[in-house]
Amino acid sequence: MLEHLIDIAELERRTAIKQATLRKYVAQRKIPFVKIGRLVRFDLSEIESWIRERKVPVLKGAETVQVIPENGRLDFQETSKIEHFTRFFPAN
């Protein structure tokens, strides 16, 4: 089990959730963690289950549309400006 424990920096790297948010989740006990003395560690299998439990199902009739910049190029600066929209169609 100990080989599956990671620290908050590693969890941030793996999930892209900021450390400040992870610390808040720990304080509010919203995320599974292991406390060893003063150290806070996260069990990878428990974190994977926690993430799976939060999966949001796709709405029936929903389509995700990616809007590409007018110049049609996805360079680094433009990539951050790409917007995602969800368009809803009435179910027949």
Residue 22 or 77, more confident: 22
Q: What is the pLDDT of residues 42-52, one digit of tens each?
A: 999 999 999 99
Residue 43 or 79, more confident: 43
Contact 88, 61 (CB under 8 A): yes
Q: Show me where the domains of the chain are located.
A: 2-53, 58-92
| Global pTM value | 0.61
> Please, which residues have CB within 8 angstroms of residue 30's CB and are 6 or more apart in sequence?
24
Residues of the chain with pLDDT > 70: what percent?
A: 63
Question: Stretch 61-73: mean pLDDT, rounded?
Answer: 61
Amino acid present at 91? A
Q: Give helix 8-15 / helix 19-27 axis angle, nearest 10°.
A: 120
